[in-house]
Amino acid sequence: MNTTYLAVEAGDLAVEASGFFLENVWIIPAIMAVSFAIILGAGKRMPKGGSEIGIAAVGVCFILALLTAGQWVGQVNAAEACTPETCDYVKYGTDEDGEPGYVANKSVGADHSDDHSEEGDHSDEDDDHSDEGAFPVDAGAGSSDGESASGFTAFVDAEEGSTAAAPIAVISERTWWSNGGIDFTVGTMVDGLTVTLLVVVTLVSLLVHIYSTDYVAGDRRFTHYFGFLSLFTAAMLFFVTSANVLQMIVGWELVGVCSFALIGHWWEEQPNSDAALKAFLTNRVGDMGLLIGMIILFFASNEKWGIVDINAAAINGSTSHTLLLIASLCLLAAVMSKSGQFFLHTWLPDAMAGPTPVSALIHAATMVVAGVYLIARMYGVFFNGLSIAGSSINALAVIGAVTTLVGASLAFVQDDIKKVLAYSTISQLGYMTLALGVGAWTAAVFHLTTHALFKACLFLGAGSVSHAVHSFDMKKDMGGMREFMPTTYKTFLIGSIALAGLPPLAGFWSKDEILAGTGGWGFWEGESHANGAYTVMLVMGMITAAMTAAYMTRVMYLTFFGEFRGGHHDDHGHAAADAHDDHAHHGDPHESGPRILWPLRILAGLAVVAGLMNLPKGFLGLPSGITLRFEHFVEPLSATGYFPKISHADPSWSLAIFSTLVVAFAVGVAYYYYFVRVNAQSPSATELINGPTARNKLLKAGHTMLKNRYYLDHIYDSGEPVGAAGATAMGVIFGSAAGLTLGFSLDNGLDQNFWPSAIWGLVLGLTVFTIVTAALRTGVGIATATKRPLANAANWVHENIIDATVDEVGKNSVKTADALYKYIDQGVIDGSVNAAGRGSQGAGGELRRWSTGQVQQYATVMFAGATLLAGLLIIVI
């Protein structure tokens, strides 16, 4: 067994970490916010329209993020090398005033009785120590089993046997204001998760910035675009560095607003502004959940806003479990809307209306990642609220699993290359949620990281293709692109393989970790389960892996193989083409410029190697210093007090080989269908004329359902033509599914009997679904009905109030200025100057008569004066 791994898993000691970049991480979002202000204020006068400011700012942020990450790695290493002589151990508990927070960990290096005296205040973990035979060990120096690195007396968990310490999150905050004895603080919290997100966000943002200088070149709102990119990045960085949930809410909403602005960047076209509105409205539904959840958590955790405090309260059992369950379900609603989880994912494909680099940013690093990050950050709440450990089903895992399947199935029937990628993102986000739902925290965050890299690569690749053909329609305008765009083709291929999850690219490692993390594989092998045996999730994840591989093969064929189908018409009129009116020639598509290709190359390169960050334990006999690096540096230990005690799945060769075979089989089937059958029919064909859907009614029906996106939009939007029967049927199905999920999680959480709670859950789920649907329908209805009157009213206000005010102010200004000129300038100022002149003249004329030039006369006057003064002197004295 290897020591490091066990040490990480056991994690019973924590130390404080410090470092300039860790403590001053606020600089990073601040730089981006300043950049936004400068671009908005002065961008238009800059030679490159403000883009240079954005790139410089995000570049600096990227470097700072790397430095922060480096410092964090240093802190983790330093903590590992800790001994009681060199470090002061801390733990989360209550201080003398009864105020929760980090206090000195007296059970280490001190005498035993100290520990017992405070036991009442401490978490279960500490109780475990005394119950399960924790004892002071004087381990000899150089002991080989990894029991202890150096000789000192410490409490060592007898079973797990380690004394390695972990750094706690670096929190620097100050009180913003106090009210009713509650401090509202602002500050930053940095730990492994934060620095991961910092690096990912700034890296993807930097590449997107560079890419955009070419992609949106010549756009009429070029400066505005870069300003919002900066703000978007700033908002996300602010969100991930938040130390308390209030700041998280602010960052969350800021991200939403920025995505609204950027999705609707080309708002002159109706669909684009509708898409922006839809994204915004759908997110409002989830935001209600966020607010309610956070408020519940605030009261449940003894009126604390701090992330650490809330998580710690959830973990050490001082919070009511029912409250935690409700809060985590509310937060789950927020995650569903933000991270595009089924059934609030419908805004995400529409968000493709924005410029492609923005899509890449939204899908890889900012908007949708926020939801997953929220779960990862508040994991103590979710882990305990949903009783993830030792279970086989819970709401989070079910939502994730359903989402991943729904997204993958919808990706099959899209003709728009960006929509395929959008549904793919939904599917992969479902994967992450699933992973979090089964307790595979590190796998989820790892997948988030690798997915950010290869999905950004894919989106930017799709943008590169559309840049050349001025369209996103794979069937009409693409095909055979690999001859025209070899570099884009290669990078897109790498991204696709990474997404499909074929070894040894990034996607394989993270996907495999998630599958292993479900613990479901042990069903066959009888190995140790991880946090539970989520066999259903494993099966659904496996199906999704196969589907992902198949639809990416389809995209590869339709875009890069076969015969070029575009170039026959010049009036595409697609949104993205707007920016490229200056491209005069519409001949053969051509490869994009270096500012587009280099981000692609970098991302493709990273997509190849990123998986090596977290090689499985004991992989090919590699030492512990190489494997599981990501987990080692990113995952907080339970000793930090704010992270639950999760166990890790053992990697399994059989699972890895099986999932690779499944993926390979799916690629093979799709390859046979497109590259062989369709291509044989005609090189320019996109589907078989007499394919399965044409021959089989059931398949045809399924295809129609997928084409209509499971009728979800029909249910939500009263404006869509409703296939009444279909919509109702789907509503009942979704409602039941949601209800059963709730039922399972209630059963799981409350230890009730299954059927009563399942029925309750069904009723509850149908009600919730109906309410949500009704709310959405009403919202959309209200939005649709009020858009025009609102616009008219706004116009009226603009014309009659704002403009009139401005007019009136202008007129009055002219009048005032007139009066000022007449009375003040001419009268007072000029008058006084003239009077001074005239006065001088008169005085001069008068005085000149006095200067006669007669010296004796002057002398007379002088004598007279002297005499007078002498007389005065005499009188006074």
Partner 1 sequence: MYLVQFLVLSSILFCIGVYGVLARRNAVLVLMSIELILNSVNINLIAFGAFNGAAIPAEVFALFIIAVAAAEVGVGLALVLTIYRNSKSIDLHQVDLLKG
| Cβ-based nearer residue to partner 1, 113 or 856 | 856
Measuring CA to CA, how many Å separate 846 from each of 301, 564, 834, 861? Answer: 92, 103, 18, 17
In the complex, the smallest distance separating the C-beta of residue 850 from partner 1, rounded to whole angstroms, is 8
In the complex, the smallest distance separating the C-beta of residue 870 from partner 1, rounded to whole angstroms, is 12
CB atoms within 10 A of CB 103: 17
Q: Which residues contact 54 (CB under 8 A, 6 or more apart)?
A: 35, 39, 209, 226, 227, 229, 230
| Cβ-based nearer residue to partner 1, 20 or 858 | 858
| Nearest residue to 419 (alpha-carbon basis) of 331, 354, 506 | 354
Amino acid at 503: P
| Cβ-based nearer residue to partner 1, 824 or 864 | 864
CB atoms within 10 A of CB 56: 13
In the complex, the smallest distance separating the C-beta of residue 855 from partner 1, rounded to whole angstroms, is 6
Amino acid at 829: I
In the complex, the smallest distance separating the C-beta of residue 873 from partner 1, rounded to whole angstroms, is 17
Residue 369 token pair:
């990642």
In the complex, the smallest distance separating the C-beta of residue 863 from partner 1, rounded to whole angstroms, is 6
| Cβ-based nearer residue to partner 1, 568 or 848 | 848
| Cβ-based nearer residue to partner 1, 142 or 853 | 853
Question: Rounded to an integer, what distance in angstroms lies between the CA atom of residue 492 and that of residue 470?
Answer: 18
In the complex, the smallest distance separating the C-beta of residue 844 from partner 1, rounded to whole angstroms, is 9
In the complex, the smallest distance separating the C-beta of residue 822 from partner 1, rounded to whole angstroms, is 40
Q: Which residues contact 755 (CB under 8 A, 6 or more apart)?
A: none
| Cβ-based nearer residue to partner 1, 270 or 854 | 854
Question: Rounded to an integer, what distance in angstroms lies between the CA atom of residue 72 and that of residue 377?
Answer: 17
Count of positions (residues) in the chain: 877
In the complex, the smallest distance separating the C-beta of residue 862 from partner 1, rounded to whole angstroms, is 10
Phi, psi of 154 (to 5 degrees): -150, 160
Strands 165-167 and 13-15, bridge-based pairing:
parallel
H or E element, residue 74: helix 51-80
**Cα maximum dimension of the chain:** 136
Q: Which residues contact 36 (CB under 8 A, 6 or more apart)?
A: 227, 228, 230, 231, 234
In the complex, the smallest distance separating the C-beta of residue 858 from partner 1, rounded to whole angstroms, is 8
Residue 259 token pair:
């995505």
| Cβ-based nearer residue to partner 1, 174 or 848 | 848
| Cβ-based nearer residue to partner 1, 179 or 856 | 856
Q: Which residues contact 527 (CB under 8 A, 6 or more apart)?
A: 521, 650, 652
| Cβ-based nearer residue to partner 1, 689 or 855 | 855
In the complex, the smallest distance separating the C-beta of residue 813 from partner 1, rounded to whole angstroms, is 51
In the complex, the smallest distance separating the C-beta of residue 849 from partner 1, rounded to whole angstroms, is 8
CB 312 within 8 Å of CB 641? yes
In the complex, the smallest distance separating the C-beta of residue 846 from partner 1, rounded to whole angstroms, is 11
| Cβ-based nearer residue to partner 1, 270 or 856 | 856
Question: Rounded to an integer, what distance in angstroms lies between the CA atom of residue 545 and that of residue 537?
Answer: 12
| Cβ-based nearer residue to partner 1, 218 or 865 | 865
- As a dihedral over the C-alpha atoms of residue 138, residue 9, residue 393, residue 662, rounded to 10 degrees, the angle is -140
Measuring CA to CA, how many Å separate 497 from each of 207, 492, 557, 659, 667? Answer: 21, 9, 13, 14, 10
Give 282's Cβ-side CA count (13 Å radius): 30
In the complex, the smallest distance separating the C-beta of residue 851 from partner 1, rounded to whole angstroms, is 4
Residue 17 DSSP code: -
In the complex, the smallest distance separating the C-beta of residue 877 from partner 1, rounded to whole angstroms, is 18
In the complex, the smallest distance separating the C-beta of residue 841 from partner 1, rounded to whole angstroms, is 14
Secondary structure (DSSP) of 505-534: SHHHHHHHHHHHHT-TTHHHH----SSB--
Secondary structure (DSSP) of 667-712: HHHHHIIIIIIIHHH-TT--S-TT-HHHH-HHHHHHHHHHHTGGGH
**3-class DSSP state of 144:** coil
Q: Which residues contact 578 (CB under 8 A, 6 or more apart)?
A: 219, 266
H or E element, residue 185: strand 182-190
| Cβ-based nearer residue to partner 1, 665 or 863 | 863
| Cβ-based nearer residue to partner 1, 724 or 847 | 847
In the complex, the smallest distance separating the C-beta of residue 843 from partner 1, rounded to whole angstroms, is 12
* Residues at the site binding partner 1, with contacts judged by CB under 8 A: 847-856, 859-860, 863
| Cβ-based nearer residue to partner 1, 697 or 848 | 848
| Cβ-based nearer residue to partner 1, 829 or 861 | 861
Question: Rounded to an integer, what distance in angstroms lies between the CA atom of residue 587 and that of residue 567?
Answer: 6
| Nearest residue to 631 (alpha-carbon basis) of 5, 3, 34, 176 | 5
In the complex, the smallest distance separating the C-beta of residue 868 from partner 1, rounded to whole angstroms, is 14
Question: Rounded to an integer, what distance in angstroms lies between the CA atom of residue 55 and that of residue 60?
Answer: 8
| Cβ-based nearer residue to partner 1, 120 or 853 | 853
CB atoms within 10 A of CB 717: 19
Peptide bond into 459 cis (omega under 30): no
| Nearest residue to 89 (alpha-carbon basis) of 113, 66, 115 | 115
In the complex, the smallest distance separating the C-beta of residue 874 from partner 1, rounded to whole angstroms, is 15
